[in-house]
């Protein structure tokens, strides 16, 4: 087989030599460049399987080179070599299209992993990605709207990067589905995808859950246990509802992301970790940063690339296709043929605003499937769809002297109260109706000062 060939761009001869020796041991040939001019010449002369470039070069900025390679030689993965602790430039490089970075002094095991990932990326050549962009039927993320097409295209692109991705969007818009897709399409897809709901782990167990613990490190720790970071080694860790991380854990997570080292509870040594972080929340994280509830530095590191999942009411043209897709899935779970949908039922669904987005549509169809007779879902089988489309989702809202915050708070309060009444103030069930987590409901209630009545769940 042809030996891969890498371009090394660094003005320090020692670093070039170290990289050259390391890559040679991995059966990779190298071409060296001392500056931007030489690098450009080398790139024009031949094809490279990967490029490692220093951040600061005598005749310019390494980021410039990243941009050029990303645009002119998109099949060549490029990684940045950055000064120790300089996360700002590393993040800038990732945003410019570098697939990863390694900081000085170069840690050889880290470098070898990075190089292997680059070679896998280069081999996969983007075929898989091209497929999801063009062939919408092949993607688990359905919808023919232009906003969903953009989401699919962005996912295809960012699955090739190793940069942290932060997924935003209302409840039920497909954030977890998107996270899984990013993993599946990327070079880590032969390693685990581990999802953790940060809102569901009791605070006192969180550190051990994420980082593992040593036997005897606390009462009940009867054996060594590995954490989710170790379980996800080489793969992707999906931090769902990341806004719910307590501040004390935010500090620890920040360190792990920065240093790529985790320390199990009670351990004296740190262990190296290589995971790609994808996070998500339906809350407004920037707002939580402003409110002092989420660390700005952590937000900045998680949010290197943002992926926003559009709400269903902004893309109603996706509804019919989603209905077909979801009904097929539901029926095949029961090993039955997919039912038909009466035109009145379809019209009602098309005209509904779906506060709970695709998840709500799925729940409505699941129930209707169970209720329907003669394999036809009728309007009655859909039950009462909550508020009809109108007021807030329609084009112009009259604030009538109220400011936007108050207006939104008033609407939110009405929706929460209605859900609580309908579920007889059982918050777990109200949260389910609203398609949000229990913690999120509790947060919203306290924010709006709605009387807690008795705690349940
Ligand atoms: N575009 C889509 N095409 C097909 N199925 C979808 C799409 N979007 C969402 N779904 C389905 O809708 C359900 C909810 O999606 P998912 O759990 O990914 O949403 P979420 O944004 O993580 O929701 P939450 O905020 O409630 O956790 C899942 O069953 C998912 O498969
Ligand atoms: Mg989710």
CB of 359 within 6 A of ligand 1: the answer is yes
33 forms bridges with which residues in the sheet?
Answer: 9
- Is 318 close to ligand 1, i.e. is its CB under 6 Å away? no
The DSSP H or E segment spanning 102 is: strand 100-103
Q: What is the pLDDT of residue 23?
A: 96
Residue closest by Cα to atom 16 of ligand 1: 174
- Is the pLDDT score of 421 beyond 50? yes
Mean pLDDT confidence for 300-314? 93
Question: How far, in Å, from the CA of 361 to the mean position of ligand 1?
Answer: 10
Q: What is the pLDDT of residue 407?
A: 81
Which of 225-234, 434-443, 448-457 shows the lowest mean pLDDT across its residues?
448-457
Mean pLDDT in the chain?
88
Average pLDDT value for residue range 288-303: 93
- In this structure, are strands 276-281 and 165-168 parallel, antiparallel, or unpaired? parallel
> At what angle are helices 427-434 and 404-422 packed, to 10 degrees?
120
pLDDT at position 398, please? Answer: 60
- Say which ligand is closest to the CA of 170: 1
Q: Cα of 348 to ligand 1 centre, how many Å?
A: 21
Q: How high is the pLDDT of residue 135?
A: 57
Return the residue whose CA atom lies nearest to atom 29 of ligand 1: 359
Does ligand 1 have an atom closer than 6 angstroms to the CB of 311? no
**pLDDT score of 452 more than 70:** no
pLDDT at 388 over 60: no
Spacing, Cα 171 to ligand 1 middle (Å): 8
Identify the bridge partners of residue 61 per DSSP, sorted by sequence position.
56
Average pLDDT over residues 207-214: 94
Give the pairing type, strands 50-54 and 78-82.
Answer: parallel
The pLDDT value recorded for residue 45 is 95
pLDDT given for residue 265 in this prediction: 92
- Average pLDDT over every residue of 164-187: 94
Please tell me the distance between residue 317's alpha carbon and the centre of ligand 1 in angstroms. Answer: 17
Averaged pLDDT for residues 20-37: 96
Q: 441 versus 132: which is more confidently predicted?
A: 441
- Ligand 1 atom closest to 142 (CA): 3
Q: Write down the pLDDT at residue 387.
A: 55
The answer to whether residue 132 scores a pLDDT higher than 90 is no
pLDDT band at 307, cuts 50/70/90?
A: very high
pLDDT for residue 418: 87
- Residue 456, pLDDT > 50, answer no
| Torsion-angle region of 85 (φ positive above 0: left; ψ -120 to 50: alpha; else: beta) | left
Which residues 6+ apart lie within 8 Å of 268 measured at CB? none
Mutating to test ligand 1, I would choose from 141, 176, 329, 438 the residue with most ligand atoms within 8 A of its C-beta, which is 176
Q: How confident is the model at residue 124 (pLDDT cuts 50, 70, 90)?
A: confident
Mean of the pLDDT values across residues 386-390?
A: 51
pLDDT in tens, 319-378: 999 999 999 999 999 899 999 999 999 999 999 999 999 999 999 999 999 988 888 999
How confident is residue 103, by pLDDT bands cut at 50, 70 and 90?
A: confident
Distances (CA, A) of 211 to 170, 262, 344: 29, 6, 52
Average pLDDT over residues 125-148: 70
391 has a pLDDT exceeding 50: no
Distance from C-alpha of 214 to C-alpha of 265, rounded to nearest angstrom: 6
Query: What would the mean pLDDT of 423-431 be, rounded to a whole number?
Result: 86
- pLDDT at residue 315 above 50? yes
- Residue 105: band (very low, low, confident or very high) from pLDDT cuts 50, 70, 90: confident
Looking at the predicted structure, is the pLDDT value of residue 234 above 60? yes
Tell me: the pLDDT tens digits for 57-98? 999 989 999 999 988 998 899 999 987 767 788 888 888 889
Bridge-based pairing state of the strands 236-240 and 193-197: parallel
- pLDDT of res. 399: 64
Q: What percent of the chain clears pLDDT 70, i.e. is strictly above it?
A: 92
For the chain, list the domains and their CATH numbers.
5-124 (3.40.50.2300), 128-308 (3.40.50.300), 312-382 (1.10.8.60), 400-448 (1.10.10)
Residue nearest to atom 31 of ligand 1 (CA): 177
Is residue 400 predicted with pLDDT exceeding 70? Answer: no
SS3 298: helix
Whole-number Å distance, alpha carbon 131 to ligand 1 midpoint, is 21
Residue 390: per-residue pLDDT: 46
Query: Who contacts 177 (Cβ-Cβ below 8 Å, separation ≥6)?
Result: 140, 141
218 versus 24: which is more confidently predicted? 24
Q: Which atom of ligand 1 is nearest to the CA of 437?
A: 26
Share of residues in the chain with pLDDT > 90 (%):
59
Q: Is the CB of 171 under 6 A from ligand 1?
A: yes
Question: For residue 393, what pLDDT band results from cuts at 50, 70 and 90?
Answer: very low
Q: What's the gap in Å between 69 CA and the centre of ligand 1?
A: 35
Q: Decide: 325 in ligand 1 pocket, CB within 6 A.
A: yes
Tally Cβ neighbours within 10 Å of residue 294: 22
**Residue 394 pLDDT exceeds 60:** no
Confidence at residue 432, expressed as pLDDT on a 0 to 100 scale: 86
pLDDT at residue 137 in the model: 65
């Amino acid at each position: 087989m042809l030996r891969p060939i890498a371009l090394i761009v660094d003005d320090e001869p020692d670093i070039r030599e170290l990289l050259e020796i390391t890559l040679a041991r991995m059966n990779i040939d190298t071409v060296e460049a001392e500056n931007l001019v030489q690098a450009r010449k080398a790139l024009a002369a031949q094809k490279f399987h990967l490029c490692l470039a220093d951040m600061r070069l005598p005749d310019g900025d390494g980021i410039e080179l990243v941009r050029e390679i990303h645009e002119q030689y998109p099949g060549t993965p490029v990684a940045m070599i950055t000064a120790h602790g300089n996360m700002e430039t590393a993040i800038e490089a990732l945003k410019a299209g570098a697939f990863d970075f390694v900081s000085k002094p170069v840690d050889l095991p880290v470098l070898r992993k990075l190089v292997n990932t680059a070679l896998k990326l280069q081999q996969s050549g983007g075929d898989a990605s091209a497929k999801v962009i063009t062939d919408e039927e092949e993607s688990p993320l359905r919808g023919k709207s232009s906003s969903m097409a953009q989401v699919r295209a962005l996912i295809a692109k960012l699955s090739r990067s190793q940069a942290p991705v932060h997924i935003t969007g209302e409840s039920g818009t497909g954030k977890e589905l998107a996270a899984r897709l990013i993993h599946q399409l990327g070079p880590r897809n032969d390693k685990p995808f581990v999802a953790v709901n940060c809102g569901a782990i009791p605070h006192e167990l969180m550190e051990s859950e994420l980082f593992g613990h040593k036997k005897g490190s606390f009462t009940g720790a009867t054996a060594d246990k590995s954490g989710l970071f170790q379980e996800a080694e080489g793969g992707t860790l999906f931090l769902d509802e990341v806004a719910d991380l307590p501040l004390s854990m935010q500090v620890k997570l920040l360190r792990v992301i920065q240093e790529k080292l985790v320390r199990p509870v009670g351990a004296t040594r740190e262990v190296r970790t290589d995971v790609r972080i994808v996070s998500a929340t339906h809350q407004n994280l920037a707002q939580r940063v402003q409110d002092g509830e989420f660390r700005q530095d952590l937000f900045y590191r998680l949010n290197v690339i943002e992926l926003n999942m559009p709400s269903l009411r902004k893309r109603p043209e996706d509804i019919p296709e989603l209905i077909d897709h979801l009904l097929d899935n539901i029926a095949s779970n029961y090993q039955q043929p997919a039912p038909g949908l009466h035109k009145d039922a379809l019209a009602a669904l098309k005209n509904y605003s779906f506060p709970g987005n695709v998840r709500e549509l799925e729940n409505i169809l699941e129930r209707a499937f169970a209720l329907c007779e003669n394999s036809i879902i009728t309007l009655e089988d859909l039950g009462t769809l909550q508020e009809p489309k109108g007021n807030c989702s329609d084009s112009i809202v009259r604030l009538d002297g109220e400011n936007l915050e108050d207006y939104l708070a008033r609407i939110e309060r009405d929706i929460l109260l209605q859900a609580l009444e309908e579920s007889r103030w059982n918050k777990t069930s109200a949260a389910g109706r609203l398609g949000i987590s229990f913690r999120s409901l509790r947060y919203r209630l306290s924010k709006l000062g709605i009387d807690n009545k008795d705690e349940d769940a």
